[in-house]
Chains A and B, each alone.
Chain A
């Protein structure tokens, strides 16, 4: 697989806090993605990046921001966390025309 690593794996925090989720990949893929998974809703795309400094909004980008300052790294930030952002977050990486490969996820709980 694309050796996609996400940190932290679990995080509990309070409403209003700023949170950053990190993602790194070791296969040199150009494209990286952040998804959110909620029970019964499947995976929904938050942001994606096709190259360093390239940032594009997905379906549900409000309340989130991302940074792609290196090809191997793509971070997701919640500037001021709110309880309905409690979810499982996945990072994925891939090349054009090839399937995306996923990390093992970050379980985020906002109290």
Chain B
């Protein structure tokens, strides 16, 4: 089956620093999604990408859908303490079943004030 490699597994940064994380796949996706999970809560959608090469921002977050359709990155600028959490990438295929969402294993972000 498809696999997503998400890196890094964890990051420890100082408040104010920029952060970058990425996902790569062994096969192509039609959609890339980035979610954030806070402790005790479910994943919350941050950014959705639907087109190869697309670059989308949501406040201090920027994500790109790789031109090969096999990768995506998420950048967080000027990190703040509430950015702490686990960030997941997810790739989705469209087609007959149009359901398949494959998740990366997550990046644990810690921000030191």
Name A's B-contacting residues (CB within 8 A): 1, 4, 31, 33, 40-45, 48, 50, 56, 59, 90, 92, 96-97, 99-105
Give the distance to chain A from B3, nearest Cβ to Cβ, in Å: 11
Known interface pairs A43-B43, A96-B98, A102-B35; 20 further A-B residue pairs with C-beta atoms within 8 A, sorted by A's residue number: A1-B44, A1-B45, A31-B99, A33-B99, A41-B105, A42-B88, A42-B106, A48-B99, A50-B99, A56-B99, A90-B42, A97-B94, A97-B98, A99-B31, A99-B33, A101-B45, A104-B40, A104-B42, A105-B41, A105-B42
The contact of A42 among B31, B33, B45, B105, by CB within 8 Å, is B105
A31 contact set on B, CB distance < 8 A? 99
Give the distance to chain A from B104, nearest Cβ to Cβ, in Å: 6
Are the C-beta atoms of A103 and B103 separated by less than 8 Å?
no
Give the distance to chain B from A22, nearest Cβ to Cβ, in Å: 15
Interface size on B, residues (CB 8 A): 21
Are the C-beta atoms of A99 and B45 separated by less than 8 Å?
yes
17 contacts between A and B (CB under 8 A): A1-B45, A4-B42, A31-B99, A33-B101, A42-B104, A42-B106, A43-B43, A50-B99, A56-B97, A56-B99, A59-B1, A96-B98, A97-B94, A100-B101, A102-B43, A104-B40, A104-B41
> Would you call the interface of chain B mostly helix, strand, loop, or mixed?
loop
Give the distance to chain A from B37, nearest Cβ to Cβ, in Å: 9
| Residue on A nearest B47 in the bound complex, by CB | A99
| Residue on A nearest B30 in the bound complex, by CB | A97
Indicate the member of A40, A56, A92, A100 with the most B CB atoms within 10 Å: A100
| Residue on A nearest B34 in the bound complex, by CB | A99
A87 to B82, CA, bound (A): 25
Indicate the member of B1, B40, B99, B106 with the most A CB atoms within 10 Å: B99
